Amino acid sequence: MNKDEIRELRRKRLMDSKAYQTMRSLTRYMDRYYLDALIGIIPGWGDAITFLCVVPFVYFSSRVIKSIPLTLAVLNNALRDVLMGMIPFFVGDIIDFFHRANIQNMQMIQGFVDGNETIIKQVNKKAWQSAIVLIVILLLIVLMIWALVSFGSYLYSLVTSIFR
């Protein structure tokens, strides 16, 4: 077998997998039939429920394809979709109607499986964006912990000085 035949066999095996078929079904129902936007209307729970639909995409990209950049790009799309969906006064639900994260994730995964160089470059770009955002969030968490500890020690010293 030559290199192209091996790639085509791997591609067919990936596309026939249960996880791939689940992703296709989720994409069809959530984005093409607009269930993402409809479920997002449920106050407090809608966006959490739709975020759970990203699990097969993350599993496929991280465990089946074993690509960290693809997994980061999939999470980038999913988290952006959740963030936009959380905008109040039904604005987020209207955005969900047009922003189809599952279709975008499916296109990235399909392009990655097919070896499409343009999509692989897009995936790598999104992966870097995701990594930078994660680093910023981690730094903000550390800063918040430091601020809380500092504030807590200030309050403690204030209270102890009052009761002396």
**Which pLDDT score is estimated for 72?**
93
C-alpha to C-alpha distances, 39 to 46, 97, 161, nearest whole angstrom = 5, 11, 53
The DSSP call for residue 98 is: H
Q: What does the pLDDT look like over 111-154, one tens digit per residue?
A: 988 989 999 999 999 899 888 988 888 888 888 889 888 999 99
Q: What does the pLDDT look like over 56-114, one tens digit per residue?
A: 999 999 999 999 999 999 988 888 888 888 888 788 888 888 888 999 999 999 998 89
**Which pLDDT score is estimated for 123?**
92
Q: Is the pLDDT of residue 47 over 90?
A: no
Contact 96, 37 (CB under 8 A): yes
pTM: 0.77
What's the 3-state SS for 4-37?
HHHHHHHHHHHHCCHHHHHHHHHHHHHHHCCHHH
The DSSP call for residue 42 is: S
**Which pLDDT score is estimated for 41?**
87
HSE at residue 97, side-chain half, CA atoms within 13 A, is 8
